[in-house]
Amino acid sequence: MKIFVLNAGSSSHKSCLFDLSQGNAIGQINRPLWQAALDWTHAEGSVELTASKSGGEAVTQVLPLTDKAEGLQALVQTLVQGPTKVLDDLSEIVAVGHRVVHGGRDYQQPVVIDAGVKETIRQLISLAPAHNLANLQGIEAMEHLLGEVPQVAVFDTAFHASMPEAAATYPGPYDWVEQGIRRYGFHGISHQYVAQRAAQMLGQNLEDLKMLTCHLGNGCSLAAVKGGISVDTTMGFTPLDGLMMGSRSGSVDPGILIYLMRQEGCGVDHLDHLLNKTSGLKGLSGLSNDLRVVVEAMEQGNTQAQLAVDVFIHRLRREMGSMIASLGGLDAVVFTAGIGENSPLVWQRACEGFDFLGLKLKDDLERAKDDQDIAAADSRVRVLVIHTQEEGAIAQACHALLQ
Ligand code: ADP
């Protein structure tokens, strides 16, 4: 059963082809047969397409394209042509799985896409403008390229749908409750996968574990996962809430927004740009949204970069503390995504705040290709670094739904 997975973003498209003919156990992910990505930030007027098949070299080409649908067509062609060919014909694909960022209150489970689902995703664009629009365009492009193949939407909000009302409700006027202005939470596909994988690594039942999962990439969020269920998370009504991120501020005093609007005549679009694009690591360091660049500058004595890293860690620890309170205990912390999988500095500094819980890391911390337990043997809390597998989890969800 060949399943094509598309994770469409505003500046990149990531895709994989999985063969789930053998079925698949939860928390255990097949390696993709093929994977490819489009990077639209590569250079003005062009896109960088990188494709590889399992065990093969990555092939990169720069194409003079700016249209997303044309880029996707070129990407799909690498499945059936050239050095990365893995299919004789595109008709071998039996389903397409899409990561859709916002499912609102309507979708709490994966769903087969029809006209009604597309319309709901379109209506939810106002809640996640960059993300849901790109997801919808991806769905329409794949329909055009592959015809009648079933397409499935897997929502990044769905895992958090079970949060208790007290965690999901904002303390504004009651009208907000009625209007659906509430904490939805995001990165759910990743939080759910790493929680399942962590239970497997620990050899314990997910139902018995209290886990804090930390998805730290360009976007950053935490989830409190109790017995396999998300009981709290840091992102909210939109992916802007919670932790400091690459270029997003995370939570700030809402009074700052009122102040900027009143005193400086700041408009909606300007506020949106300030908070989403020019804040976070990028805003404070004045350098980049890439933690590697900011840390390098910090090590060379750049005080603004130092401040950016210090605030990132402070916010992270503070929110980790609040998730631990929502859990009412802690068996394991899981780090995942670009920063979470790769930064010993972040593991160390984030965990330092919790030695009073008996959480101790190993002395020699190193990045690894495989998932690893970085806690000291006598630590009372396990600390796992798990490579997230959002695309693999989407393929599994598709497989389960279509079976
Ligand atoms: P996205 O949310 O766009 O999928 P990623 O999960 O790829 O993002 O994470 C991007 C972040 O990961 C960047 O801030 C980058 O600096 C960070 N990152 C990637 N590799 C490393 C590394 N070796 N050390 C520290 N940070 C890293």
- Topology match between the domains 2-155 and 205-385: yes
Kindly state the DSSP code that residue 32 receives in the 8-state scheme.
P
Q: Would you say the CB of residue 143 lies under 6 angstroms from ligand 1?
A: no
pTM for this model (two decimals): 0.94
What is the whole-number distance in angstroms between the Cα of residue 342 and the centre of ligand 1? 8
Tell me which residue of 191, 203, 198, 197 sits closest to 229, measured CA to CA: 191
d(CA 163, CA 184): 9
- The mean pLDDT value of the chain amounts to 94
For residue range 277-295, list pLDDT tens digits in order: 999 999 999 999 999 999 9
Residue 285, token pair as written in the block: 């360091």
Tell me which residue of 32, 24, 37, 22 sits closest to 54, measured CA to CA: 32
Q: Give the 3-state secondary structure of residue 386.
A: coil
What is the whole-number distance in angstroms between the Cα of residue 66 and the centre of ligand 1? 25
What is the whole-number distance in angstroms between the Cα of residue 261 and the centre of ligand 1? 33
Q: Would you say the CB of residue 217 lies under 6 angstroms from ligand 1?
A: yes
Q: Which pLDDT band holds residue 129 (cuts at 50, 70, 90)?
A: confident
Return the best residue to mutate from 221, 245, 339, 366 for the ligand 1 pocket (most ligand atoms within 8 A of CB).
339
Decide if domain 205-385 falls under CATH 3.30.1280.10: no
Domain boundaries, the chain: 2-155, 205-385
Catalytic residues: 156
Provide the angle, in degrees to the nearest 10, between the axes of the packed helices 390-402 and 188-202: 90
Q: Are 214 and 207 in contact (CB under 8 A)?
A: no
CATH class of segment(s) 2-155: alpha beta
Q: Which pLDDT band holds residue 24 (cuts at 50, 70, 90)?
A: low
Q: Would you say the CB of residue 388 lies under 6 angstroms from ligand 1?
A: no
d(CA 105, CA 111): 13
For residue range 301-337, list pLDDT tens digits in order: 999 999 999 999 999 999 999 999 999 999 999 999 9
